[in-house]
Structure 1
């Protein structure tokens, strides 16, 4: 495990067959109000939210903290009303007209040199962090180490599957909260919580189950990575 990085929790809703979206990669709005409330609680407990560009393009927005109790708790802990929302993207090819850029939140961008060039001099992102490997990819380990130096100790990852896969491969995930929703999506190309190249069974990350909660027809699973 990489030292000196935020505690990192992945929070995702999925179908009973393990899909986070359908084959058209439509926004996954199949969770109930209970799931949305659970997600808001996880976001409210964080210092920052990390979201991949594909997920942001699909939804066009991010979830902000609106619950009065959660807002008061953040205030009591001397935290700003909203955590920082960080978009991580190689190309930074985002439409500046989407509603995300009108939401009352602090926005940061993690990208490459080429991605930085498009947004340089614009006001949408408060900070643009460039961490690039010699092969032109984002150096995610360096990113998380930098976030820690910026007082971000608890990071919530909202997907998508490629981002989660890359972070798992680098051993940068501590916990999963998975909501299992009562529908079947199917489809060989429909995204899952962890896409990427996959893991051989002998080398697969192992999980320890911490909590199980059933609320009507949804099941909330809380796992910790075994190390």
Structure 2
């Protein structure tokens, strides 16, 4: 049952992230190829980096369904994105859902590859954030990852909660995954709604050595 949940979560996460890529492409008035590229970069980018680091087969090369999902979402949004009002708001919330889900997915796959708890958490964050980073860089926008409000931290929290629940507390993986996704999404939602952010470094004059 948990394996089926992870597979569904993976496909849904790819679809959600691909949709955010398609929405950015629509805001940038790209052609159909641009939609496909943006959806694919966003949908599979983070997972590709994760798999390369873990030295495991890249998931979308092994299973073509992921590419079909990305391209299908791109085609759908090419024709219907104009019907989505306030696309940036939809982008933010869709990205928040994908962020929390992919963080858990990345952490779980890292655990299956016998990665330690810390590495699993970091790879969960990478899985959740690198697709959006690629999307924003290609589109010439400031990546959400680099904005002041909490973003990568939400992914880190989601992955950490999952790993702690499963490895330290012994919570069933399915329950741990649902709890971790809800926690990470709540953190990101707080950042969107209330502007939550971590303290930032403030530039100070350097020390003068004599």
The two structures share one fold, judged by TM-score above 0.5: no
Structure with more of its chain in strand, by fraction: 1
- Which one has more relative contact order, counting CA pairs under 8 Å at least 6 apart? 1
TM-score (normalised: structure 1): 0.27
TM score, norm. by length of structure 2: 0.29
Question: Which structure is higher in helix share?
Answer: 2
